[in-house]
Structure 1
Amino acid sequence: MRRALTAAATATALVLSTTACSLISDAEPVTITWWDTSDAKNEAPAFKALVKDFENTHPGIKVTYVNVPFTDAQTRFQTAAAAKKAPDVLRADVGWIPGFAKAGYLAPLDGTPAEPDDFYFDRKLIRQATYKEHLYGVPQTTDTLAFMYNKNLFTKAGIADTPVTWDDLKADMAKIKERTGADGFAFNPQAYFAMPFLFGEGTDLVDADYERITVNSPEAVKGIETLVSVLKAPGARKLDTTDKAYANIMNAFSNGKVASIIQGPWETANLFKGAAFADKENLGIAKIPGGSFGHGAPLGGHNLVASSTSSPAQQSASQKFIAFMTSASAQEKIALTNGTLPTRMDAFTAKVVFRPEIAAFHLVLKDGVPRQPIPEYTALYAAMEPNLVNILTGRVTAQQGLKKTSDQALQLLPDYRTS
């Protein structure tokens, strides 16, 4: 069942589609440009192969493939779109959709060949591709955070089950340190990785439905105080606040010096290169420990979006390309090659779920919490990060640090009220 669409929008989409299709069939082949923001070394080859498959099945469409580093892509697309020189299709982080759509850079995909079928796609993923009731992207890959652990170290420490609560984790960390010498847990001090502590108390950075800033709510303070207590507990690895913290933590975990971390599926391929996980079966993946409200982790991923400044013919070709790249067969190929998570249920085939790391992340996806549908949400992470480091290093209390984050959030969202 297709998503609902207003009559006016449907009529517009049909006119554009009909006009563009006639241009493709009656004129010379159409060329579209795709900016792929996947990892150039580990992921891009699989996408390049799919581009060739698409061109073979759509001889009237030529795709110019460009790999753009993910860290530069958001700014580069904004600059190009403002100059009306944007690529026809972009692989966009889910957090970019509201801002790009609000600025008018994206073409709505409602009622086009690209629109996903609700039967196959999780509604939470569609929500992250929607802004003000219009669809602006199609989910291509998804991800969330999970509790990753070294099974051998847990077994040596006499731990049979993964921690369900943060208190369970504290007890496990102490046993692991005492019985194996390895650190029980390491935390990357970035706001994104702290979100499970907020979700575990039933709160978020903001509540867009009620236009309320909640990052300094009592629930949020409790969540971050829990994080502080975990990192102070015996067995926790000393907090790394250097620019290389992420890489240092991943290196320590992949080499067996740390027993557990919070991480996403994008790192599994790299972890399997480490000494601790040469045997892939040694990597455990489970849901993140929960708080008093329950379990939760940020739901991420990438959507394919189309530029609003492309010609009608290019928009029609882009819609076909997006539909192809997000099809079940395409997503299956990407999952098997890159180890990433599909966004549609029928792409979780027997071959895909046979890979234990994908099967494990598939199970924890149900705890994924979609991002709030506001353009400023990603900027809230940036506002929180330095304050989080100050909290975790003891320079300020959780209440003080989150109050400052709330004040900064109010500058981004002046119409919102604070807790």
Structure 2
Amino acid sequence: MTKDLTTTPLTRRGFTLASAAAAFTVAAPAVLRAQAVEIEYWQYFFKERVEAMDALIKQFEAANPGVKVKHTHFPYAQYRTKTAAAVPAGEGPTVMQLFFGWMREYAKAKLIQPLPGDVFKTADIDRDYFDVVKLMKTADGYWALPTAVRSLGMFYNKRLLKEAKLGETPAATLDEYVKYALATTKRDGSGNLTQAGATIGIPSQDYHWWREVLVRQHGGTPYSEDFRKVTYANEAGAAGIAWYTDLQRKHKVAEAGFLSESQAAFKAGRAAQHVDGSFRLGTFRTARGFDWGVAELPVHNGIKGNYSSYWVNGLAANATGAKKEAAVKFLAFITSDDAMQLWFDKTGELPAKKASALTPKNLSDPLSGPMLAGMNDAFTTDFVAEEAQGQLFQDMLDRILLQNQDPLAAVRQMAEAEQKMIDDHYRS
């Protein structure tokens, strides 16, 4: 858990991204200055993230004419498959983005290699980055580093709250969250949901909200400290998922699949409250005539909570020689302080270094401020197979919502399956 967000005051910025890139050029090996080297950067397609990386590449190439960076992106659904096929074949990226929860799988499959310790010093990373990033460290050092980290926030539609005479102050507790949802839900004459008071269902960040926040707020913990034992198969885990699924089952303020996706319903102005990640800030800002705000996640039993995740930049296992040297230099640049600020300005994702994130400007921003505050209460999860573990939540949700399975039986069934995944990973 991230407990300490205190930092020393920032020194005044005396250089731009371009000059930061030039600083990396000074130390460039002679081989990079002798001839042009092309490297390739891969990520999944998300409009604001692609635009941010294009801007960073432009800055980097301007200061490093000996290095050409090819930027390739794929739809999210294809991304892992493309990477898994390309790297072993000696093709594809030199530097790639991967979700932090995939790191162990990528390292085990020899898709990435440890970052060189002379450039990416363990002590410096431990000191400068938010604590959640330490999950990228093994006995071999750090395997990957993020430009940004994410936290969760409660997005709310100001217009819908005002129409329901709830004022401008968002819900602060889980009880208020339900109260606000009831007041803002609308149905047509046939009983069909036309305006949701809250959102529910996958795809969303609700899997993390339940596991790392709601379980804890109901008196439990999701895993042991070493993440090798599942510990939510009890009344606390059941109470957390019961509260969440009751938004649809009991209170009827939300429906899984309403307007296809939760974030789409909120962006369309058809949902009053929506829990999501800070990466949505950039997306929602582009919606015209949309009056919305962000607050920290609701408190319950006096317990605050949050979840932090991040995408990291890794060095392909097949990167060697001049390409590896160029890739290391580029990876160092896109994880510099100024690169993090540019990424934050364009995407809403929070700078991964504490000093870069916790500036007076960022903290006072009405949208990013609550997200940054949430990092103080954030937990993260050491996944062994993130997508498969996430699917277990989807399966549990289906059993409760569609088959009316008892919440306690549901969490026990999920826990048994997840425990087997974890055990199998460490046995192999």
Q: Is the 2:149–2:310 Cα contact (8 Å) retained in structure 1?
A: yes
AA aligned to 2:110 is: G
Instruction: Return closer, same or farther for 1:164/1:110 CA change in 2, 3 Å cut-off.
Output: farther
Q: In the TM superposition, what whole-angstrom CA distance separates every residue of 1:154-187 from its partner, at most 9, and x where no partner exists?
A: 2342345433332222222233349xx9532122
Query: Residue 295 of structure 2: which of 279, 286, 289 is its match?
Result: 286
User: Which residues of structure 2 form unaligned runs of 5+?
Assistant: 1-27, 187-193
For residue 256 of structure 2, what is the aligned residue in structure 1?
240
Map of 1:196 onto structure 2: 209
Q: TM-score, normalised by structure 2?
A: 0.79
Partners in 1 of 2:118 and 2:248 — Cα distance?
A: 49
Structure-2 separation of matches of 1:49 and 1:216: 46
Once the two structures are TM-superposed, the CA of residue 255 in structure 1 deviates from its matched residue by 3.6
Query: 2:405 maps to what in 1?
Result: 396
Distance, in Å, in 2 between the alignment partners of 1:392 and 1:361 is 30
Kept in 1, the 8 Å contact 2:157–2:292? The answer is yes
The residue aligned with 1:222 is 239
Where do 5+ consecutive residues of structure 1 fail to align? 1-19
Alignment of 1:252-271 (within 5 A): 252-271=265-284
Instruction: Tell me the equivalent position of 1:53.
Output: 59
Instruction: Call closer, same or farther: CA 1:336–1:400 in 2, change over 3 Å.
Output: same
1:109 lines up with 2:115 in the alignment? yes
| Aligned residues of 1:352 and 1:358 also touching (Cα < 8 A) | yes
Give the drift of 1:215.
4.1
**Structure 1 residues 174 and 123: CA distance shift in structure 2, 3 A:** same
Asked if residue 368 in structure 1 is aligned to residue 385 in structure 2, the reply is no
Of 311, 315, 330, 1:302 maps to 311
Q: 1:44 to 1:211 in 2, by over 3 A?
A: closer
Deviations 1:73-116 (A, max 9, x none): 22211222232334110011122112112223222125232456
Offset, 1:217: 3.1
Q: Distance in 1 between matches of 2:227 and 2:282?
A: 40
Q: Can you list the C-alpha shifts for 1:239-270, whole angstroms capped at 9, x where unaligned? A: 1247x631xx3343234332111112222333
Are the counterparts in 2 of residues 150 and 276 from structure 1 also a CA contact under 8 Å?
A: no
CA distance in 1, matches of 2:271, 2:60: 43
RMSD: 3.0
Q: 1:269 to 1:52 in 2, by over 3 A?
A: closer
* Counterpart check, 1:169 vs 2:182: no
Tell me the residue number matched to 2:153. 146
Distance in 2 (alpha carbons) for counterparts of 1:34 and 1:63: 7
Distance 1:114 1:31 in 2: 22
- Of the candidates 15, 31, 46, which is equivalent to residue 38 of structure 2? 31
Q: Does 1:155 align with 2:162?
A: yes
**2: distance between equivalents of 1:235 and 1:299?**
29
Corresponding residue for residue 129 of structure 2: 121
CA–CA distance in structure 2, aligned partners of residues 204 and 132 of structure 1: 27
Residue 11 of structure 1 aligns with which residue? none
Residues 189 and 60 from structure 1, CA distance in 2 versus in 1: closer, same or farther, beyond 3 angstroms?
closer
**Cα distance in 1 for residues equivalent to 2:260 and 2:287:** 17
Measured after TM superposition, the shift of residue 147 of structure 1 is 0.8
Distance 1:169 1:186 in 2: 11
Q: Sort the Cα spacing of 1:361 and 1:46 in 2 relative to 1 into closer, same or farther, 3 A.
A: same
Q: Which of 71, 77, 80 lines up with 2:83 in the alignment?
A: 77
Say if 1:211 and 1:415, in contact at 8 Å, map to a contact too: no
Distance in 2 (CA, whole Å) between partners of 1:404 and 1:218 is 13
8 Å CA contact 2:158, 2:168 repeated in 1: no
Tell me which residue corresponds to 1:322: 331
Aligned residue identity for 1:222: A
TM-aligned CA deviation for residue 276 of structure 1: 5.5
Query: Are the counterparts in 1 of residues 157 and 269 from structure 2 also a CA contact under 8 Å?
Result: yes
How far 1:209 moved relative to its partner?
1.2
In 1, are the aligned partners of 2:101 and 2:385 still within 8 Å (CA)? no
Output the CA distance in 2 between the equivalents of 1:175 and 1:384: 29
What letter corresponds to residue 280 of structure 2 in structure 1?
E
One-letter amino acid of the counterpart of residue 244, structure 2: L
SS at 2:308 equivalent: strand
- Check whether the contact 2:246–2:252 (CA below 8 A) recurs between aligned residues: no
Instruction: Tell me the SS of whatever aligns to 1:34.
Output: strand
CA displacement 1:217-242 (0-9 Å, x = unmatched): 332112111213333454613x1247
Q: Distance in 1 between matches of 2:176 and 2:116?
A: 46
Cα gap change, 1:56/1:87 in structure 2, threshold over 3 Å: closer, same or farther? same
- Counterpart secondary structure, 1:305: strand
State the distance in 1 between where 2:392 and 2:185 align. 34
**Alignment partners' CA distance in 1, 2:170 and 2:376:** 18
1:299-346 deviation per Cα after TM superposition (whole angstroms, max 9, x unaligned): 122111101221132222211111111111112122223333221233
**Alignment partner of 1:201: what SS?**
helix
Contact 1:191–1:381 (Cα < 8 Å) also in 2: no
